[in-house]
Amino acid sequence: RKEVEQDPGPFNVPEGATVAFNCTYSNSASQSFFWYRQDCRKEPKLLMSVYSSGNEDGRFTAQLNRASQYISLLIRDSKLSDSATYLCVVNRDTGRRALTFGSGTRLQVQP
Amino acid sequence: GAGVSQSPRYKVAKRGQDVALRCDPISGHVSLFWYQQALGQGPEFLTYFQNEAQLDKSGLPSDRFFAERPEGSVSTLKIQRTQQEDSAVYLCASSFAGDRGELFFGEGSRLTVL
């Protein structure tokens, strides 16, 4: 079982739609959580950190459920420019300390 | 530029050749990571340096893979006797805040082994 699992998609949504991505992680020692965005043939870039209380950044809302080991990302009012792959990322506090990436969920926003 | 710089951007190697991939991190970033990204997959961790010390190399897939960062700045990932399964994008990332801060990635080196 992979340490971070995501639905690969693709999610095809119309402009203006609300879309949600989910991610589960297997290592309960994970302490830090992030969503990264990766455009086609480009490098990953940090979209937002995920905090236990949930956090919002404009049209983006991230939630963390430690009990269920589940992370979500909600995008409201989707724009064409949101089309990308969204990578769920966790960081353990012990053992291997590097970030562990999921395989990504591809989003295609259509006009 | 101020970002992470990787070279070469593209490399085609014949099976059995050795390759060397270079990463020039953001100035002042003490942490440097190498990741391997296969098509349609997320980045997979290879190795991690803090300054010149290689603190974690548990992700290196075989002893054909070797990484160094001798002066705590530029890093080189070397792959000996390349195999077709080594074909991937090799991403370098650096971070100021150790292993918990935001990672800044380079554009990657795309390796194709024929």
| Residues A43, B91: C-beta atoms closer than 8 Å | yes
Asked if B91 has any chain A CB less than 8 Å from its own CB, the reply is yes
- Distance (Å) from the C-alpha of residue A35 to the closest C-alpha of chain B? 11
Work out the percent of chain B whose per-residue pLDDT is above 90. 89
Determine contact, residues A30/A102, Cβ cutoff 8 Å: no
Shortest CB distance from A102 goes to which of B42, B102, B105? B42
Q: Give chain A's length.
A: 111
- Region of B28 on the Ramachandran plot (φ > 0 left; ψ -120 to 50 alpha; else beta): left
Residue B85 exposed, middle or buried by CB count within 10 Å (0-12, 13-18, 19+)? exposed
B3 neighbourhood in chain A, CB within 8 Å: none
Average confidence (pLDDT) over B74-86: 98
Torsion of CA B55, B61, B62, B63, to 10 degrees: -20
Query: For position A6, what pLDDT does the model report?
Result: 96
pLDDT at A55: 94
Tell me the CA distances in angstroms from A8 to A20, A110, B10, B12, one per residue in order.
Answer: 13, 18, 26, 29
Name the residue in chain A with its Cα closest to that of B46.
Answer: A98
Task: Report the C-alpha gap between A27 and A96 in whole angstroms.
Answer: 11
Distance from CA of B82 to the nearest CA of A (A): 23
Please choose, from the candidates B50, B64, B62, B60, the residue with its C-alpha nearest in 3D space to the C-alpha of residue B100.
B50
| pLDDT at residue B102, rounded to an integer | 85
pLDDT digits (tens, 9 = 90+) for B24-64: 999 999 999 999 999 999 999 999 999 999 999 999 999 99
**What pLDDT is recorded for position A96?**
56
- A45 and B48 within 8 Å at the Cβ level: the answer is no
Report the pLDDT value the prediction gives residue A28, as an integer from 0 to 100: 87
Q: What is residue B86's three-state secondary structure?
A: helix
User: How far is the first Cα of chain B from the last one, in angstroms, to the nearest whole number?
Assistant: 33
pLDDT of residue B100: 60
Report residues of chain A scoring pLDDT below 70. Answer: 93-97
